[in-house]
Structure 1
Amino acid sequence: MVKGVIVLALLTLFSSCNSKEDAVQHELGLVYNVLRDADVDNFEVYSMNLDGSNKKNITDLHRVEWTYYSYKDTLYFISDRDSCKRCYFLYKSDFDGKHVQKVSDLELADSWMSSRNDGEELIVKPKLITKSTFYILDRNGNIVNRLDTGLLFAADPLFVNDGRQVVFRGGKTVGKNIDGFDEELYIMDSDGSNLKQLTHYPEEDTSAGKYGYRAGAPKLNPTENFVTYQSKQDGKYSLYATTLDGSKTWKLTENTQDEGWHDWSPDGKWLAIELFDDEQSQFHIGLMNWETKEMEILTDDTFKYQQAPNFIWKSRD
């Protein structure tokens, strides 16, 4: 009996230690993009804690580095280091900017990305003459599959429904500078079949004009399973949401500032949002408690452009 109590106590202690270790390992931070020096076109990736403390430049190369996606403890970013100006290749690191590795020799377009199968496969937009194509890469950067969307333009692919489908931003011309672009969110199966339009920008609204977002890069709420996106409607950028079957679309938030690129925490409790004024004179990163809708601004005015936040585990799994 005594031996059993001792074993149980040891197991409890071991479990408690593991739980504490897991909690530390899975503590969340944020990474985001900063225009550090406009004169030399220098963009960097910064990291910070969820309370806004310990802001740190984790790329620091005086080149162009942008991040749009992290998975668990891995930060993915595109960079023109070791290549021509704005010729982007995919790299990865951790929250502290350490363990930098080049993921692939495939040149990429400037686009958001996502993953499936516990991070084993990434979906990206390559830089091709054909602007309607996505590639699926394995963890080593090898091309697993090619997806043709059937549209003339496609970007910002997002795996949904456990990787069985892809939501993306699509247009009916190759770019916004051509009349008839008609940008919307679309969904298709991960083999490229069953294309369906999800969003429908209000016909009477002219707020987005020719170059504003009618439907920006999609993000998935991981617990309530709807997709969110930025859209300029009624003269203001706000966040909107749509169900995965397109049957319901609604305005997500009621912030007074304009809202742009954003990300959901893995547990769906937090929403990190890029916030800015109508003149786009100052961009901040805000953190919203999704349950209470309370918002905290995490950045200061040191830099004008602070954009595209995404969540990341602060230490390795």
Structure 2
Amino acid sequence: MARGVIVLALLTLLSSCNSKEDAVRHELGLVYNVLRDVDIDNYEVYAMDLDGSNKKNITDLYPVDWTYYSYEDTLYFISDRGTCKRCYFLYKSNFKGEDVQKVSELELADSWMSSRKDGTELIVKPKLITENTFYILDQKGNIINRLETELAYAADPLFVNDGEQVVFRGGKTVGKHIDGFDEELYIMDSDGSNLKQLTHYPEEDGSAGKYGYRAGAPKLNPTENFVTYQSKQDGKYSLYATTLDGSKTWKLTENSQNEGWHDWSPDGKWLAIELFDDQQSQFHIGLMNWETKEMEVLTDDTFKYQQAPNFIWKSRD
């Protein structure tokens, strides 16, 4: 009798855990970028459920709209709407593309971003003559602080350690077109001090060439507290990880396809990945269960370029 009660309790607990996981998956969505029209260079932001259903163009204009970041139920995207081509400004909306608002009059570079202090402060890369600067903005788009790195180039800033530090992609020249760029991930304090190199691309590996990613935009695993990034090594783009002190670096996944820009779900249980073939003839969005490593491709071949997924809550409780 006691054994039956224990078994029933375990089954009830397991069912409860599965129900919670299903509920989280139902409440979360993905937003990602699509090249809708090659001829006019028209990029749009699309949204879908985590099972790949209900795909929708949520920006639906004819300039460049591109999302790099979401916080809770707020989608942030850069756009050149109403201005010169590739002159980017920051906008926000919800999962459905409703209530679009311009966040700031500050022109931005084409770069990933992140936030701290419950989403009240954003770190961005402005469009400046200098290539090594980040700004921290408040919710109204006002500049709170300016961070100068000690490198010639810096992009894709990511707050870590509760916003006390910033991980970013850096280079030793102002761009990849100049010899000696040597792209890696770096970490510094949020006042710009104590710069430290985190990653070290294998010296014997020339796979990335001059223009491929040695270390792509960093993302933080929110529960295990390590940083992930794409890197072209051994002739293929894969995801790699590093601890925040740089003491350990490892290959994160073993997918047969190339892996690029990606994002972690808020609970760390799901990993959304941009997948593509060697010729980069087709890009898909995949969803990996981090515990089981099972991968599900969520997109079809309607569009060639489907990239840079990030998680977003469909609505606020």
TM-score (norm 1): 0.92
2:285 aligns to what? 285
Distance (whole Å) between structure 1 residues aligned to residue 231 and residue 221 of structure 2? 17
User: How far apart are the structure 1 equivalents of 2:104 and 2:82?
Assistant: 13
8 Å Cα contact 1:165/1:188 also seen in 2: yes
Which residue number in structure 1 is paired with residue 296 of structure 2?
296
CA offset at residue 316 of structure 1?
Answer: 2.6
CA drift of 1:150 comes to: 1.0
2: CA distance, partners of 1:263 / 1:27: 16
Q: How does 1:18-57 map to 2 (within 5 A)?
A: 27-57=27-57
TM-score of the superposed pair, with normalisation by structure 2 = 0.92
Deviation above 4 Å: which 4+ runs of structure 1?
23-26
The answer to whether the 8 A contact 1:287-1:297 is kept is yes
Please state how far the C-alpha of 1:26 moved relative to its aligned partner. Answer: 8.3
Give the AA of the match of 1:36. Answer: R
Cα distance in 2, alignment partners of residues 27 and 93 from structure 1:
17
- CA–CA distance in structure 1, aligned partners of residues 152 and 258 of structure 2: 29
SS at match of 2:59: coil
Instruction: Give the secondary structure class of the aligned counterpart of 1:194.
Output: coil
**Native 8 Å contact 1:44 1:59 kept in 2:** yes
Counterpart contact for 2:75–2:93, Cα < 8 Å: yes
- Paired residues of 2:26 and 2:50 also in contact (CA < 8 A): no
Report the Cα offset of residue 24 of structure 1.
Answer: 8.2
Task: Specify the alignment match of 2:227 in structure 1.
Answer: 227
Report what 1:102 is aligned to.
102
Structure 1 residues 103, 39: CA separation in 2 closer, same or farther (over 3 Å shift)? same
Match of 2:134 in 1: 134
Q: Which runs of 5+ in 2 are unaligned?
A: 1-19
Encode CA deviations 1:57-87: one digit per residue, 9 max, x unaligned.
0000011000010000000000000110010
Asked if the contact 2:25/2:50 (under 8 Å) is kept, the reply is no
What residue is the counterpart of 1:155 in the other structure? 155
- In the aligned structure 2, how far is the partner of 1:145 from the partner of 1:66? 25
Counterparts of 1:295 and 1:68, CA distance in 2: 22
1:251 paired with 2:242, answer: no
Q: 1:63 to 1:221 in 2, by over 3 A?
A: same
Aligned length: 296
Post-superposition shift, 1:103?
0.2
1:143 aligns with 2:150: no
Contact preservation (8 Å) 1:25, 1:313: no
**Structure 1 alignment gaps of length 5 or more:** 1-19
- Measure the CA separation in 1 of the matches of 2:24 and 2:247: 40
Deviation at 1:251, TM superposition (A): 0.1
Task: Report if aligned partners of 1:25, 1:316 keep a CA contact under 8 Å in 2.
Answer: no
Cα distance between partner residues in 1 of 2:108 and 2:259: 26
Pair 271,24 (structure 1): closer, same or farther in 2 beyond 3 Å: closer
Asked whether 1:168 is paired with 2:177, we answer no
The Cα shift of 1:189 comes to 0.1
Contact residue 216 and residue 230 of structure 2 kept, 8 A: yes
Query: For residues 234 and 26 of structure 1, what CA distance do their matches in structure 2 show?
Result: 37
| Separation (CA, whole Å) in 2 of partners of 1:25 and 1:287 | 11
